[in-house]
Structure 1
């Protein structure tokens, strides 16, 4: 999910009451909910190579132990540093390292949990396994989560300043968020089940989420050969077997990284050349963003369908 959503999740957990457990609880929750995305810096190594590193190691089990420890230690040291210089705010609650660590861990765990919800996915077991996990439930930027979580956070903070029951709005929204996720899980399950039980009876059915219209799914169906139907439209110039992808991977690190990342690889035409794409991103909004040119001679023209 996007970082605003992650931040709002952390803020709501704090406003639900956990921020009273220790000083600097809200920084631990909000930063912790975002810190696994430190792998975004991998974009500096290349447009395609960074795909192989995103949502991997910093989202896996080792990171879920190390990152909260580092964050809690940094916040605890910051509090001690302020106290030593007489700059520690008098209104701040006593900082308890154990609670900082616990809250940072909860926030960090929420990050891969929410990343799993969309079709982009997350490698939950990295470095022990590079398998991608995909929930196919909620679009990566969900307007309804923004509105609900944002309003609930604002109302909770407002009530707190007025001396009212500020925990209730946050708790209600957290429950509503879980219900919303459950609703979208049911929509996805039914859509994928219907696709698999209908002609042409595909081996693979992906219910790609839609922005704003959370109740809709763009169905991606196929048999894993690189020829897909996306919302009823054919995607793929030729079967994957028509191209020597093993050689292409050895020749070009970008191709290797793309195929490591891709869930629904397909061969597309780009003028007289061929490029690798992913059927999940064949729509108008993302077309061209996730493609890599194949080396010359990698594909045989007679394989075209």
Structure 2
């Protein structure tokens, strides 16, 4: 998910009562909720599709979720001691207890992979023990409805806190409603997959079905189904069913051995195929091949979610 969502989740957890555990609990929760995204620094040294093979991996796995909160807690604890020595420590701040500070940073970090798992991009939850990708197919990466819910509950809680009233309940209600919203979206995705004929859902021979959430309209799904060479697209609406299936792109035939051979010598192809969930080849304007992922197919703006094979000729599917 986007970092605003992660930050709001950390803040709402704090307003639900966790910020009372120790001084600096709120920054531990908010920063912790974003901390696994330190892997975004890879954009400084990786180019093309190489970042696809690096992101949402090692910094989102179990060892990192234990060590990153420890680093964060140590930095916040040291910051509190530094302010104390300078005489600038706020008087209203609660005593800083390192154990609780680590626990808050850990909870914040733990919320991050949960929300990242909810979209179609995927996450390698078990790195470095396993490189398997996991997909939730539940929320779009930027969900404005979730934003509105989290912001409203946070604003309501802070307003009651300033007025001296009970302030934890609004945040807890926001968490409960947010989890219910996620559950409804998971149900819509499941219904979208069920809208396909039975023979299209058995996943035999590498058949892939993806119910991809769309921006704004949480009740709709971009439904992608097909095989590594050929995919179809349809739009599912929770209240009116599924539209007709249409072929994605202008697919080409590229032998699997050629892609495997190219991946051994070309890091861009290797990274793309490592990350891709629904790979297919399509024809470029010059008759060569471009590899896309059906989840992020946009022929008008070829970007970091595709890789060109300029020396491979596009052949029609057999």
TM-score (norm 1): 0.94
Structure 2: distance between partners of 1:29 and 1:140: 21
2-structure distance, mates of 1:287, 1:186 = 32
1:261-293 CA-to-partner distances (Å, cap 9, x unmatched) read 111111012212211110001257976451111
Q: Is the 8 A contact 1:248 1:294 kept in 2?
A: no
Measure how far apart 1:238 and its partner are: 2.2
Say if 2:208 is the partner of 1:194: no
Q: How far apart are residue 43 of structure 1 and its match?
A: 1.4
Deviation per residue, 1:162-188 (Å, 9 max, x gap)? 111111110000000110111111111
TM-score (ref. length: structure 2):
0.90
2:232 equivalent among 229, 237, 260: 229
Cα separation, partners in 2 of 1:199 and 1:205, compared to 1, 3 Å:
closer
Q: Which residue of 2 is the match for residue 238 of structure 1?
A: 252
* Residues 43-96 of structure 1: CA deviation (Å, up to 9, x unaligned): 121131111100000000010100010001110111111111211111110000
Call closer, same or farther: CA 1:286–1:26 in 2, change over 3 Å: farther
Q: Residue 50 of structure 2 aligns with which residue?
A: 49
- Structure 2, unmatched stretches of 5+, are 235-244
Which residue of 2 is the match for residue 290 of structure 1?
A: 305
Structure 2 residue aligned with 1:209:
213
In the alignment, is the contact (CA less than 8 A) between 1:24 and 1:75 conserved in 2?
yes
Q: Is the 8 A contact 2:252 2:289 kept in 1?
A: no
Partner SS, residue 275 of structure 1: strand
For the aligned residue pairs, the C-alpha RMSD in angstroms reads: 1.9
Query: SS of 1:296's equivalent?
Result: strand
C-alpha displacement at 1:5, in angstroms?
0.3
Instruction: Please report how far the alpha carbon of residue 251 of structure 1 lies from its aligned counterpart in structure 2 after TM superposition.
Output: 2.7
SS in structure 2 of the partner of residue 124 of structure 1: coil
Question: How many residues matched?
Answer: 302
After alignment, is 239-248 or 112-121 more displaced?
Answer: 239-248
Give 3-state SS (helix, strand or coil) of 1:163's partner: coil
Q: How does 1:80-159 map to 2 (within 5 A)?
A: 80-159=81-160
